[in-house]
Structure 1
Amino acid sequence: MSVERPLPAPSAAGPLVLGGDLGGTSTRIVIADSEGNVVGRGAAAGGNPTSHPASAAANFGQALHTALAGLDAAAVKSSVVGMAGSVALGRPDVAAQFEAAWSGAGLTVPPDYIGDLEVAFASGTPEPDGTVLIAGTGSNVGLVRNHQLLRTAGGHGWLLGDDGSGFWLGREAVRSVLQALDLREPLGLLGQAVVQAVLPDRGEHATPQREGYDALRDDLVRTVNSRPPVMLAELAPTVIAAYAQDDETAQALVKRAAELLMETVARLKTTSDKGPMVLAGSVAGESSPVGKLIRQHFAGEVLTARDGVGGATWLALGALDPALATNENHSRLVEH
């Protein structure tokens, strides 16, 4: 079990930097001094402004206030905030809510909002150039040059993209069940697990033979369509669990997910592009079979993203003074 160590006191005269990582499930803020020592932390619920901008902005403000408690907010001279769904800040009403949260915390330095791809890459390596692949609920690939995003592939959301993501795995799992029911075929291990996950009220022994093929199919369709589509990503662990038990359908889905993600990388990365590849997200993780297949495929250095908020804080140090973006400070911030 990890033990929380007390945060060192900031230098009285030195400037501070702020790093943020705003995702769909959590909002995290770190304050560090110019030597890379963390002097403040704050956390709250999800901060992705795409779906729920008001609550995301409120969570952002809460995390900022917690991180800055006992500190002089005006001493923060540089900030980098990584945000999933940052395109939503293009809406004036959403931007105003986040600005209110920022200024309400007493911060005077302008916030530098960047995408989660850049933060993920910086959390995995201090190298300036390389490639980053995020595969969690959604999926996205980015090419990074001099710590900045040069171009991307994918990342268009569940309706238009997210191939190989957790959402894709969940959707394809449900589709495989519906196909089996249409053809009056028995459900395999994955199919039974999907029915149990989507229709828990039917009990763990629900089968088309007992429930009726059409009735079970219609209930699945009705239930899935009554929920936010992105919730299909919650079935990704079900696919992974069935894969581990040698279910043929699950194994085919895992293999195809890895292929789709690798194809997305191939659309972006050329042979002249150098630097490590950083993998981030639960689907691309080291313990995920999808992530393992991706690591086996790519030659060269493949790294795993670490603490996103640490990566953002390290980038903020570099923005304050490029000389502070050292490998030592990188290790200190992302491996805490």
Structure 2
Amino acid sequence: MSVESPLPEPADALVPMPATAFVLGGDLGGTSTRIVVADAEGNVVGRGAAAGGNPTSHPASAAANFGQALHAALAGLDPTLVKAAIVGAAGGVALARPDVAAQFDAAWSGAGLTAKPEFIGDLEVAFASGTSEPDGTVLISGTGSNAGLVRDHKLVRTSGGHGWLLGDDGSGFWLGREAVRSVLLTLDRGEPIGLLGQLVVQAILPDRDENSVALRTGYDVLRDDLVRTVNSRPPVLLAELARTVATAYEQNDETARALVKRAAELLTETLEVLRTTEDRGPMVLAGSVAGESSPVGRLIRETIDQHFSGEVLTARDGVGGATWLALGALDPALATQQNHTRLVEH
């Protein structure tokens, strides 16, 4: 009795698994947009960068910059092999608007990507860049400031982050605004403006004749010039004066030292809203103002043990943190300490 050979399956019934799977991490900041593509072993296989991708601060160009960075990162790769994607967005709240979301969706699909991206806040990305632990607290202070409580790698509560008009206490913007206010108050009193004042004037009015401040009438003109110039610019540019405050601080300017001390206190208060003495997870500090090289960041690190227990860490590469989270989204077993180290400390 003969046995007939089985009939071959139709071609469309055979769905081969991809030879490999990629993950994608993104960091949409106010200054730059960065994209990383990695394989399942945490090896980076593609990188892309473009100008600012924050949809709040760059509403007209953020999506286009996002698309540019995606194309660069995916050059020479099959975008359909990207199976998980986590993108941190500093202005992520803007993505809730249908028109903004549509622009980012178009940039995503225009790069040939088929996996659905997950957009998360910059707090979660910053925390993941600083530690592989699932629970803890994160503080960001750069241009703005905010803090978050993280549980199982997810943001569960926030404090601050209300923007320059309503909050951002202790941020770069806050430092810059307070520096200018201190100069204006000194001018109103007819007193010498000191080192910080001189540096602020040089930063805002670089072409001004310094001799004009020697006379009382000169003080009046200087005050008006400062007010007019600052108000003619986007308010967020005051954050650039944070570096000026730091410079004056290092030269022992009394006003600058008082501002740095107050900024550190305000940022610690922002954390205190979230964190209790029962929280034992690490605290991750991120951003230029809370960084290790900033006088504000150094002061926070020197005094934080008076308020909290637990390890204090510094955020590393944000896009690396997002990519590591994407690995965990693809397969929780891939979110290892080894892969974390490889991605955030390259």
In the superposition, the TM-score normalised over structure 2's length comes to 0.92
The C-alpha deviation readout for 1:265-297, integer Å capped at 9, x for no partner, is: 011111222200000001001111111111112
CA, structure 1 residues 208+266, in 2 after alignment: closer, same or farther (shift >3 Å)? farther
CA contact under 8 A between 1:134 and 1:140: conserved in structure 2?
yes
SS of alignment partner, residue 147 of structure 2: strand
Q: Tell me the equivalent position of 1:329.
A: 339
- Which 4+ stretches in 1 moved above 6 angstroms? none
Task: Give the 3 Å change call, closer, same or farther, for CA 226–18 of structure 1 in structure 2.
Answer: same
User: Residues 244 and 234 from structure 1, CA distance in 2 versus in 1: closer, same or farther, beyond 3 angstroms?
Assistant: same
Structure 2 counterpart of 1:164, which letter?
G
Residue 40 of structure 1: SS of its match in structure 2? strand
Give ranges in structure 1 of 5+ residues lacking alignment.
1-10
For 1:208 and 1:152, locate their aligned partners in 2 and report how far apart those are by CA, in whole Å: 48
Paired residues of 2:125 and 2:321 also in contact (CA < 8 A)? yes
The alignment status of 1:122 with 2:132, answered yes or no, reads no
User: Could you tell me whether the CA contact under 8 Å between 1:123 and 1:312 is conserved in 2?
Assistant: yes
Question: Following TM superposition, by how much is the alpha carbon of 1:73 offset from its aligned partner in structure 2, in angstroms?
Answer: 0.4
CA RMSD of aligned residues (A): 1.3
Instruction: Give the equivalent residue in structure 2 for 1:3.
Output: none
Separation of aligned partners in 1, 2:56 and 2:266: 25
Deviations 1:108-141 (A, max 9, x none): 0111000000000000000000000000000010
1:207 CA drift (Å): 2.4
Residues 225-269 of structure 1: per-residue CA shift (max 9 Å, x gap): 000000000000000000000000000000000000001101111
* 2:320 pairs with one of 310, 323, 328: 310
In structure 1, give the amino acid aligned to 2:301: R
In the alignment, residue 207 of structure 2 is paired with which amino acid? D
> Residue deviations 1:152-203, cap 9 Å, x none?
0000110011000000000000000000000101110000110111111114
**What letter corresponds to residue 335 of structure 2 in structure 1?**
A
Give the one of 21, 26, 30 matched to 1:24.
Answer: 30
Separation in 2 of the partners of 1:27 and 1:271? 37
Mapping of 1:153-232 within 5 angstroms?
153-203=159-209, 207-209=213-215, 212-232=218-238
**Equivalent in the alignment of 1:301:** 311
Tell me the distance in 1 between the aligned counterparts of 2:126 and 2:211. Answer: 41
Identity rate of aligned residues, in percent? 80
- What one-letter code is carried by the residue in structure 2 that aligns with 1:332? R
Distance, in Å, in 2 between the alignment partners of 1:179 and 1:314 is 48
Unaligned runs of 5+ in 2: 1-16
Tell me how far 1:307 sits from its aligned partner: 0.3
Matched positions, count: 326
1:289 equivalenced with 2:295 (yes/no):
yes
Counterparts of 1:247 and 1:308, CA distance in 2: 33
1:109 corresponds, among 115, 128, 135, to 115
Tell me if the contact between 2:30 and 2:57 (Cα under 8 Å) persists in the aligned partners.
Answer: no
Q: What is the TM-score with the length of structure 1 in the denominator?
A: 0.95
* 2:5 paired residue number: none
Q: Does 1:87 align with 2:93?
A: yes
Larger radius of gyration: 2
